[in-house]
Amino acid sequence: MISTQHKEQRVAVFVDVQNMYYSAKNLYGAKVDFSKVLSVGVGPRRLVRAFTYVIRADVGAEREFFEALHKIGYEVREKELQIFYGGSKKGDWDVGLCMDAVRLIPKIDAMVLVSGDGDYTDLLEYARSQGVRTEVIAFSKTGSSRLFGTADQTTDMCEAPEKFLIGKSKFTLLNGFNSPANANTPAKN
């Protein structure tokens, strides 16, 4: 695909961390390299803002992870995990991410959404109606085909997982050796 990233474009990046975390974990048993995602998303363009949307669940090293995202260049938006009577849990940023994007649309030329969640399709349609170029970076195997079809440009992280993931060797990622579907299958030569 011919690149349509131009250095004079103003770009904003919106990362649905939970969606990316679980997609990478379930598909590859690895973690997303959010620094690489930001670099690919912005390209040669002028970054206006980059947001990550995270849920605080008071588990493990999440504080260090949030600080690392901030050091990379993201504005980290945090929300508490909601626990309801009966034990059900909820933690999502769909409305918050959309509101941030709608507020920035008049100030940007391109919007990069890092999520495969089809709930964002309406957001992409709205951004396009306002003259903003829409781009999606996500895993096609866990992402919405409707979302991918709505975007002006997509980057399928499944096409080159070694480029976007940390925690697994290049060999493992290319051969899918530790993916859930192939967990007990020897690697092919």
Extract the tokens encoding 158.
Answer: 């499944």
Q: How many CB atoms lie within 10 A of CB 14?
A: 25
Per-residue pLDDT of the chain (189 residues; tens, 9 = 90+): 445 778 899 999 999 999 999 999 999 999 999 999 999 999 999 999 999 999 887 666 788 898 999 999 999 998 875 565 766 555 677 899 999 999 999 999 999 999 999 999 999 999 999 999 999 999 999 999 999 999 999 999 999 999 999 976 554 555 554 444 443 333 333
Residues 50 and 97 sit within 8 Å (Cβ to Cβ) = no
Q: Is the pTM of this model over 0.75?
A: yes
Q: Domains of the chain (ranges plus CATH)?
A: 11-182 (3.40.50.1010)
* Cα gap 174→22, rounded to integer Å: 19
Asked if 32 and 20 count as a contact pair (C-beta separation under 8 A), the reply is yes
